């Protein structure tokens, strides 16, 4: 599972930092979290096709998080996209979609399904779930959490011992469906090991440090938290509904996450070491995102006996 930071600036982009967007690549799908201006160009440089984006999750409706959507959708149309696109976002997302459809003369051959989210479960699939929680910004902002549902390990030798042959029966049992062999029913629990932890990734969007993000990110493998200001600018951060690097690190420590990556950096700070050092004093497993940085995220299976 790979996370690519397509843009890491706050309100204003710079030579080195584009507006906010994060791509999450899971088997068979690409998700975009926020879609700031210029995101489709960043995707081209990163080698991620917008045609593979199945779902977009928008944290809030500030321009630096949404102004890439119109161009992205129009390019998808020009390229002949047929597959539907799902867009999830806070209240106001339907009006945003309607406005986008009036921008410029274009037609689309694919459907866009817009989903208004206020918090809680966003979607539940066989292999993963996405949940959300309102955070604490100057406008309504959603933090999102991706959680992989990892099936218990399949005990192949045990299944063969019980008289099963490799094939569709293995898949059925792995999905929790009993299978008949002769006059005996094999139950899934007979051939499945202990449950395994899947990958958990949480993204804060723009926010003050808050309990709802701590709860959502609890024991995540990766927390991506905004860090608009450096330590010493707590007043500015509080006034504008943002966090400092140290505050983001405190959230990571409280949530007991494995790794923290800071993003949404003010372009006034040229030296990221200052931000990094302040955060690492509180939470050593911290990095600062750069544009086009990709990280692989794996689940911590150390607690599993299977």
The position carrying tokens 């544009």 is: 291
Does residue 300 have an active-site annotation?
Answer: no
Residues 48-77 that bind Zn ion (CB under 5 A): 62, 64
SS3 183: coil
Cα 80 to Cα 73, 77, 209, 258, distances in angstroms: 11, 5, 42, 41
Rule CB under 5 A: say whether 230 interacts with Zn ion.
Answer: no
- Closest CA relative to residue 101, chosen from 82, 78, 73: 73
Minimum CB distance to Zn ion smaller for 19 or for 246: 19
Q: Which of 147, 206, 230, 247 binds Zn ion (CB under 5 A)?
A: 206
Rule CB under 5 A: say whether 37 interacts with Zn ion.
Answer: no
Minimum CB distance to Zn ion smaller for 134 or for 198: 134
> What stretch of H or E contains 33?
strand 29-33
Q: What is the 3-state secondary structure (H, E, C) of 231-248?
A: CCCHHHHHHHCCCEHHHH
The answer on whether 242 is annotated among ligand-binding residues is no
Q: How far is the CB of 16 from Zn ion (least distance, A)?
A: 17
The answer on whether 215 is annotated among ligand-binding residues is no
The CA distance from 156 to 238, in Å, is: 55
Minimum CB distance to Zn ion smaller for 61 or for 112: 61
Q: How far is the CB of 65 from Zn ion (least distance, A)?
A: 6
Minimum CB distance to Zn ion smaller for 64 or for 247: 64
Stretch that binds Zn ion, among 1-9, 142-150, 200-208, 209-217 (CB under 5 A): 200-208
The answer on whether 290 is annotated among ligand-binding residues is no
Q: How many CB atoms lie within 10 A of CB 223?
A: 31
Chain centroid to Cα 287, Å, comes to 17
# residues contacting Zn ion (CB under 5 A): 3
The position carrying tokens 């149309």 is: 77
Minimum CB distance to Zn ion smaller for 136 or for 272: 136
Rule CB under 5 A: say whether 247 interacts with Zn ion.
Answer: no
Q: How far is the CB of 61 from Zn ion (least distance, A)?
A: 9
SS3 134: strand
The answer on whether 62 is annotated among ligand-binding residues is yes
Q: 172: which residues sit within 8 A by CB, 6+ positions away? A: 179
Q: How far is the CB of 11 from Zn ion (least distance, A)?
A: 6
The CA distance from 161 to 4, in Å, is: 44
The answer on whether 64 is annotated among ligand-binding residues is yes
Locate 5 and state its tokens. 């930071």
Rule CB under 5 A: say whether 291 interacts with Zn ion.
Answer: no
Q: How far is the CB of 207 from Zn ion (least distance, A)?
A: 9
The CA distance from 203 to 18, in Å, is: 18
User: Which residues of this chain interact with Zn ion, rule CB under 5 A?
Assistant: 62, 64, 206
| Residues designated catalytic | 64
Residues annotated within a binding site for Zn(2+):
60, 62, 64-65, 137, 206, 264
């Amino acid at each position: 599972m790979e996370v690519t930071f397509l843009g890491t600036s706050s309100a204003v982009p710079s030579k080195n930092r584009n507006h906010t967007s994060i791509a999450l690549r899971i088997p068979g799908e690409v998700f975009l979290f926020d879609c700031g201006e210029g995101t489709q160009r960043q995707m081209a440089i990163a080698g991620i096709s917008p045609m593979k984006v199945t779902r977009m999750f928008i944290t809030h409706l500030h321009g630096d998080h949404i102004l890439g959507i119109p161009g992205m959708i129009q390019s998808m149309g020009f390229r002949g996209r047929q597959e539907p696109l799902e867009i999830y976002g806070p209240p106001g997302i339907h009006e945003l979609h309607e406005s986008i459809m009036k921008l410029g003369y274009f037609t689309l051959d694919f459907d866009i399904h817009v989903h208004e989210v206020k918090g809680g479960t966003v979607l539940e699939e066989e292999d993963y779930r996405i949940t959300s929680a309102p955070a604490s910004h100057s406008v309504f902002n959603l933090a999102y959490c991706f959680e992989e549902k990892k099936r218990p390990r399949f005990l192949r030798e045990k299944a063969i011992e019980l008289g099963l042959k490799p094939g569709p029966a293995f898949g059925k049992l792995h999905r929790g469906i009993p299978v008949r062999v002769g006059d005996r029913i094999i139950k899934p629990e007979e051939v499945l090991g202990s449950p395994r932890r899947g990958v958990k990734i949480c993204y804060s969007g723009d926010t003050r440090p808050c309990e709802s993000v701590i709860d959502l990110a609890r024991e995540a493998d990766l927390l991506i938290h905004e860090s608009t200001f450096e330590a010493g600018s707590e007043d500015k951060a509080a006034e504008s509904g943002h966090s400092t690097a140290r505050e983001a690190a405190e959230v990571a420590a409280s949530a007991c996450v494995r790794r923290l990556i800071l993003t949404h950096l003010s372009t006034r700070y040229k030296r990221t070491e200052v931000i990094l050092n302040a955060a690492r004093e509180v939470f050593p497993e911290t990095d600062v995102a750069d544009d086009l940085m990709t990280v692989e995220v794996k689940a911590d299976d150390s607690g599993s006996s299977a």
